[in-house]
Amino acid sequence: MVEHYDVAVIGAGPSGAAAALHSVRRGFETVLIDSAEFPRDKTCGDGLTPRGLHQLNQLGVEVNPTYRNRGLKLHGFGTSATAPWPSTYPCDEGTALQRHRLDALLVDAAVAAGATLLAGNAATNPQLDGNFLTEFSVGETQIRAREVIVADGVRSTFGQKLGRIWHKGEVFGIAARSYCESPFSDEPWMHSHVELRNEDGVVQPGYGWIFPIGDGSVNLGCGALSTAQRPAKLNTKKLLSLYASQQRDEWQLGPEKFITSAALPMGGAVSNVAGANWMIIGDAAACVNPLNGEGIDYGLETAALAAQLLGTNKDLTLVWPDLLRQEYGEAFILARTLARVLTYPQFLPVAGPIGLRGPMHLAARLMGNLITDEDRDITARLWRAAGSAVATARCGSPLWDSTY
Ligand SMILES: Cc1cc2nc3c(=O)[nH]c(=O)nc-3n(C[C@H](O)[C@H](O)[C@H](O)COP(=O)(O)OP(=O)(O)OC[C@H]3O[C@@H](n4cnc5c(N)ncnc54)[C@H](O)[C@@H]3O)c2cc1C
């Protein structure tokens, strides 16, 4: 059986569901495909910074309306600091919502807007004519679409068949999450513990988090940065349990439930993210902030960007990676470089205590990449200048380059 669409979107996580929603709203007949049935779980911290919430507001999808947070509280090295979300960003509040709920909300919104959902079968067997994707299979069905958006997540099994390569020499994340009951589930701050020690007391290059959800539970997890040269030698699930035991009394935590772990590519460290009529977005395109591991927002943003190119009849092979570099290139290269420094074991124990006593109002803004092109203040100018200088210095490193 052959089905024809204007646009096919592979993967119905936040990136794919948002892309399908944009696509139908632009008038394209759109199919949204996922190997899973919804609702489905996804390993995540569930945190939505103002960047993510802003995108959801733009989409008109209301998320966890009874809970909002005001910024970050950072702890470690004998001190704590409060970093409110910056008032300069178009949205100045954040939230959190379990991914099985968030992702289902977005899929429902796409379907309600008119997208056809094919759930429960993976997209496989792409047929290429040069780098033009002519058709692929979903179960017994052949899908032919004029344009295809690939949003198949970290492993990007479909993307790999199209030639997508993940460069593990660049910094990437490994992380685990769990859910715990807590009477402080309404606490209006996201908490991060940057002095994350293993059972031998050694500081790890990452952080633990407790993100309140407002429903009687918190998302508790930990993550570390790694590179092929300096792999983080840790068991994230074990570290999570240790971290939970350290936080148990203060947060009156119930037992950790639903512990899962995953790796995440970051900062655009992948190649071959587009062909003549297809674009890779979200995690599959390594659109994750290396400084805080957030990717839901970039998934939603890249969905909106990709949707703008639909129906333009352009060969997307170079247009799409060029657009990604223009939007995120300098910020991601700078963040990737700073994150790489954190993987040196000597760095964090020395820099951590100094950093936490620094100007904390800047931390949430810089870590969250909450600087807009319109911002003209000194911090924004310095951040952009540093991004530009690092991008020039590291111009050979992989950043959505194309080898077609
Ligand atoms: C432990 C951890 C904590 C995190 N915490 C946060 C956080 O607090 N805030 C934040 O913003 N980000 C966080 N992230 C990152 C965030 O989870 C991802 O950036 C986000 O899920 C990206 O969404 P996506 O739609 O690109 O991919 P996904 O959400 O992974 O969706 C991909 C979808 O594609 C489907 N799929 C895969 N292959 C196929 C195929 N061949 N055919 C059909 N369907 C397919 C999958 O079933 C899946 O539904 C965290 C990540 C981890 C691992």
Question: How far apart, in whole angstroms, are the C-alpha atoms of residue 87 and residue 61?
Answer: 22
Residue bearing the CA closest to ligand 1, atom 49: 13
Residue 354: pLDDT above 90?
A: no
Instruction: Tell me the pLDDT band of 77, cut-offs 50, 70 and 90.
Output: confident
Question: Taking residues 312-327, what's their average pLDDT?
Answer: 96
The whole-angstrom distance between residue 403's C-alpha and the CA centroid of its chain comes to: 25
- Looking at residue 338, its pLDDT comes to 81
Q: How far apart are the CA of 191 and the centre of ligand 1, in A?
A: 22
The answer, yes or no, to whether residue 368 has pLDDT greater than 90, is: no
What radius of gyration do the chain's Cα atoms show?
21
- How confident is the model at residue 30, as a pLDDT? 98
Residues 171-195 have pLDDT tens digits of 899 999 999 999 999 999 999 998 8
Residue 347: is its pLDDT beyond 80?
A: no
DSSP bridge partners of 173: 225, 264
Q: Ligand 1: distance of its center to the CA of 37 in Å?
A: 15
The ligand 1 atom at the shortest distance from the C-alpha of residue 288 is: 19
- Given a cut of 70, whether residue 29 has pLDDT beyond it is yes
- Tell me if 267 sits within 8 A of 332, measured CB to CB: yes
- Which pLDDT band, with edges at 50, 70 and 90, does 371 fall under? confident
Tell me, what's the pLDDT at 359? 65
Which DSSP string corresponds to 27-96? T--EEEEESSPSS----S--EE-HHHHHHHHHHT----TT--B-EEEEEETTEEEEEEPPTTSS---BEE
Query: Ligand 1, atom 12: nearest CA belongs to which residue?
Result: 294
Interval between CA 153 and ligand 1 midpoint (Å): 5
pLDDT value at position 226?
A: 86
Taking residues 64-89, what's their average pLDDT? 90
Q: Which amino acid is at 316?
A: L
Residues with CB under 6 A from ligand 1: 10-16, 33-36, 42-47, 52, 122-123, 151-153, 157-158, 175-177, 221, 223, 262, 264, 282-283, 288, 293-297, 299
The pLDDT-based confidence of 362 (bands split at 50, 70, 90) is low
Q: Could you give all domains of the chain from N- to C-terminal order, each with its CATH number?
A: 2-43+101-168+268-331 (3.50.50.60)
d(CA 305, CA 310): 9
Instruction: Over range 238-254, report the average pLDDT.
Output: 96
pLDDT digits (tens, 9 = 90+) for 114-155: 999 999 999 999 999 999 999 999 999 999 999 999 999 999
Cα–Cα distance measured from residue 319 to residue 313, given in angstroms and rounded to the nearest whole number: 11
**Using one digit for the tens of pLDDT, what is the confidence trace for 287-309?**
999 888 999 999 999 999 999 99
Q: How many CB atoms lie within 10 A of CB 369?
A: 23
Q: Is 242 helix (H, G, I), strand (E, B) or coil?
A: helix
Residue nearest to atom 19 of ligand 1 (CA): 295
Residue bearing the bigger pLDDT, 248 or 207? 248
Selection from 78, 47, 295, 402 nearest residue 191 by Cα = 47
If one residue of 34, 54, 174, 190 were mutated to test the ligand 1 pocket, choosing by the most ligand atoms within 8 A of its CB, it would be 34
> How distant, in Å, are the alpha carbons of 27, 154, 205, 275 from that of 322?
25, 21, 31, 13
Cα distances (angstroms) measured from residue 86 to each of 38, 148, 194, 206: 35, 36, 21, 23
Per cent of the chain over pLDDT 70 is: 95
Residue pair 301/236 in contact by the 8 Å Cβ criterion: no
